[in-house]
Structure 1
Amino acid sequence: MWMTTAEPKSFPFSEPERLDPEPLFEELRQQPLTRVRLPYGEPGWLATRYEDVKVVLGDRRFSRAASVGRDEPRMRPLQSPPDSILSADPPEHSRLRRLVMKAFTQRRVELLRPRAQEIADGLVDGMLDRGAPADLVEDFALPLPITVICELLGVPYEDRADFRVWSDAFLSTTKFTPEEVGRSVELMREYVAGLIAQRRGTRHVQERDDLLSGLVAARDDDDRLSEDEMLSLAQAILVAGHETTATQIPNFVYALLRHPDQLARLRADLGLVPRAVEELMRYIPLGNGAGIARYATEDVELGGVTVRAGEPVLPSTASANRDPAVYSDPDALDLLREEPSHVGFGHGAHHCLGAPLARMELQVALDVLLRRLPDLRLALGEEGVEWKDGLSTRGPERMPVSWARAGS
């Protein structure tokens, strides 16, 4: 029987190679939890099996609020602020989530689909007008979700260059120094505070139906959240509201181009796009492999190991999504897969609030790209793709693409 050791393993175990999974995860899934030490914070347990990861994400004996005041294990110098929704447990987490959840319901998101479609088509029109090659990241993947979240939240699109830098700093592992990260977070908070001040100054003369105005009303009229909570919530939505989609669009295209049989299947039947989005979310390891730490509030038996009260556990959704105990041939991309749902958007109370919006945007993006650019391909081959470095999300920084004929 494999035994844990007192000395934690350094994590990450290896440098990520494009979108390839961490090789050691396959071995670790055969063992109990693994003690690890991340670049920042105290040591913790790493959960790699699907069932263990779901327990850590969904069982209330594992707490995010318990991380407040602790030096939690993490990849980034930045810790989640104590007033953040990411640092809360129910019922406080539920209270904050309810304030914004109506903007991300399936029904509300479907009402946004025609606008997302219009934006995506307009971006492809621009690519076609300028001609190949185009950068799929700058010319399509970034502006699509940024435009949507700006309109939803009520943030000026023309400020996108600033909050894109702040977003990278927020997600930085090594790209920025801790001092640069702290300064960017401060600038972003000042920016959001300025937008809130504008809303307060005009709300009695100009009614606005955006999420930021709704937060201001919830704060000023109903006292349902504090000033700090409002600021943190707006910042989190602005970053998370575009980052996953902007990163996954080129990831999806890259993965499909590396699997021409699956790409041909999808091109032949665009009705498979929703299923393709789910399988690609399972298949692609978006993050670095270690999720946000949860702290055990009592002794918990997990994966054959007793996690003591007060110990942190990091759930690896990237590993869980490749668990052969759950998925047949887990390292294969299969757009017709019908096995259990992935945990790419998390699980439990902290399941991604914006998952319906991200799903819709990813569906629209794939549909438009495959319909309008049926022979989309890498303009400079795989070597021409430049990958992000020093961030907690994995994906292309630049992805030159070309096509043979004009879209319709």
Structure 2
Amino acid sequence: MSKVIAAMPKTALDSREMLDDPFARLAYLRAHAPVSWATASLLLHGKGGYLLARYDDVVTIHSDERFSTDVVKYTSVGKFIWLLPPTIRMLTQTMVFKDDPDHKRLRTLVHKAFTPRFVRAMTPEIAAIADRLADEVKAKRDVDLVHEFAVKLPLAVIASMLGVADEDRDRFQMLVEKVSSESNTLRGFATARKLVKLFEALVEERRLRPDDGLISELVRANEGGDRLSHKETIAMVFLLLLAGHDTTANLIGSSVLALIEHPDQQALLREQPELLETTGLEELLRFTSPVADGATRLATEDLEIRGVPIPRGSQVVGSIVSANRDEAVFDNPDALDLTRKPNKHLAFAFGIHYCLGHQLARLEGRAALATLLERFPNWELTAPRESLRYKPTVSLRGLTELPIRMY
């Protein structure tokens, strides 16, 4: 380890402090060590990397071409990729881990299918799903809102978008929940493979019998004669699932908790539900930051950030949680203000890797919160606040459970 790194503050991103309540530590880093050293077993490929705490620097690594997400090209992953489980190899070929022009090619083709019009057409179904799940919450009254509402809503939506048959949906949900909970284990790879097989069957079915669903649109997508290959189509379906369900579940669960902890803002939203369509949801996205750090970037050349040398090949992480609480950008950033404007949050990242599913996430978040606010005048935690924990995943930030009484 160089003398520069040795002198830096060190932060374990997967420590319980950083998972559950990272804000004091991140505020310290923004003020005193905007470029520091961090460790995390999975996010940083088993090694340490540079952690950026300020908003402007996080924007830089998301928009500067000297920072890459291509782990195959710029890390040892490329040399040993044949040793990786098939599902991981497949994900390294998606646009998340590609730079332009490969990234642009894949994103352009996916945009042909995953259009704003396609997403908007889901509005009535998403509202119906939220209402059905609210019926289940009402019947029980005391629930774990994460697993009995927040997770179920985006899973039901993605199952519908992908055309998963009704008789397969219970198995689909079980596999998705298992792959999420087992993501750090060998069993997780086996479960992921079962999901991939399900997607392979769906893609084959849609090639033979096209419909108006997302998979058929992906199969049909054409840009100047270029199409997604069979493997690229399956990888994209898998990516949309992984990127789309957990982040939205995190947003819903964390937003409900935030509104419980800020009763004045909850009352404001009940009085002015239209705020969800304007500034309200954007503030909840900023305040809760469902994506904590985003994908690791790799320096493609020797460079400096705030006077700190970053050698070529170094791993660099931009803390979205920290950027969204940066005092230089947001007034009183630790306050939840549903009327905040402007609100240049980075919840969906920035630049060419700006979240493809941002419109769907916003639609699902609004539908979920609007339904819960309308159906249940009273929200009460049924467990001590200090007992609540966040998932042991560094890149995403969401509650493991939210025991709640709604009536």
CA distance in structure 1 between the partners assigned to 2:357 and 2:327 by the alignment: 28
Q: 1:164 to 1:308 in 2, by over 3 A?
A: farther
| Counterpart residue type for residue 105 of structure 2 | R
**Aligned counterpart in structure 2 of residue 110 of structure 1, from 108, 120, 123:** 120
Helix, strand or coil for the counterpart of 2:91? coil
Deviations 1:42-83 (Å, cap 9, x if unpaired)? 3321111100000001112211125546157xxxx9687331
- Per the alignment, residue 55 of structure 1 pairs with 60
Equivalence map 1:2-401=2 (5 Å): 4-6=4-6, 9=10, 11-12=12-13, 14-16=15-17, 20-30=21-31, 31-39=33-41, 40-65=45-70, 67-68=72-73, 70-71=75-76, 81-128=91-138, 130-156=139-165, 158-164=167-173, 166-167=175-176, 177-200=184-207, 202-203=208-209, 207-218=210-221, 222=225, 224-274=227-277, 275-287=279-291, 289-378=292-381, 380-382=382-384, 387=389, 389-392=391-394, 393-401=396-404
Q: 1:18 to 1:298 in 2, by over 3 A?
A: closer
TM-superposed CA distance for 1:120, in Å, is 1.4
| Counterpart residue type for residue 382 of structure 1 | P
Q: 1:395 to 1:160 in 2, by over 3 A?
A: farther
CA distance in structure 1 between the partners assigned to 2:254 and 2:163 by the alignment: 28
Deviations 1:170-191 (Å, cap 9, x if unpaired)? 556xx55532232223222222
TM-superposed CA distance for 1:218, in Å, is 4.4
Deviations 1:114-171 (Å, cap 9, x if unpaired)? 221122122223333x242233233322222222212222223554454445545655
The answer to whether the 8 Å contact 1:168/1:391 transfers is no
Unaligned runs of 5+ in 2: 78-84
The answer to whether the 8 Å contact 1:170/1:185 transfers is yes
The answer to whether the 8 Å contact 2:75/2:313 transfers is no
TM-superposed CA distance for 1:283, in Å, is 0.9
Give aligned-pair identity as a percent: 37
Helix, strand or coil for the counterpart of 1:398? coil
Q: 1:120 to 1:13 in 2, by over 3 A?
A: closer
Q: 1:69 to 1:345 in 2, by over 3 A?
A: same
Q: 1:209 to 1:46 in 2, by over 3 A?
A: same
Helix, strand or coil for the counterpart of 2:16? coil
Q: 1:176 to 1:240 in 2, by over 3 A?
A: closer
TM-superposed CA distance for 1:384, in Å, is 9.8
| Counterpart residue type for residue 27 of structure 1 | Y
Unaligned runs of 5+ in 1: none
The answer to whether the 8 Å contact 2:265/2:338 transfers is yes
The answer to whether the 8 Å contact 2:248/2:290 transfers is no
- Per the alignment, residue 405 of structure 2 pairs with 402
State the TM-score, normalizing by the size of structure 1: 0.85
Larger deviation: 388-397 or 106-115? 388-397
The answer to whether the 8 Å contact 2:70/2:97 transfers is yes
TM-superposed CA distance for 1:397, in Å, is 3.5
Helix, strand or coil for the counterpart of 2:130? helix
Larger deviation: 53-62 or 368-377? 368-377
CA RMSD of aligned residues (A): 2.9
| Counterpart residue type for residue 294 of structure 1 | R
CA distance in structure 2 between the partners assigned to 1:342 and 1:67 by the alignment: 30
TM-superposed CA distance for 1:323, in Å, is 0.8
CA distance in structure 2 between the partners assigned to 1:325 and 1:388 by the alignment: 27
TM-superposed CA distance for 1:209, in Å, is 0.8
Deviations 1:271-330 (Å, cap 9, x if unpaired)? 11132211111111434x433111122333323323233222111111111111111111
Helix, strand or coil for the counterpart of 1:36? strand
Helix, strand or coil for the counterpart of 1:336? coil
Helix, strand or coil for the counterpart of 2:309? strand
The answer to whether the 8 Å contact 2:282/2:343 transfers is no
Helix, strand or coil for the counterpart of 2:38? strand
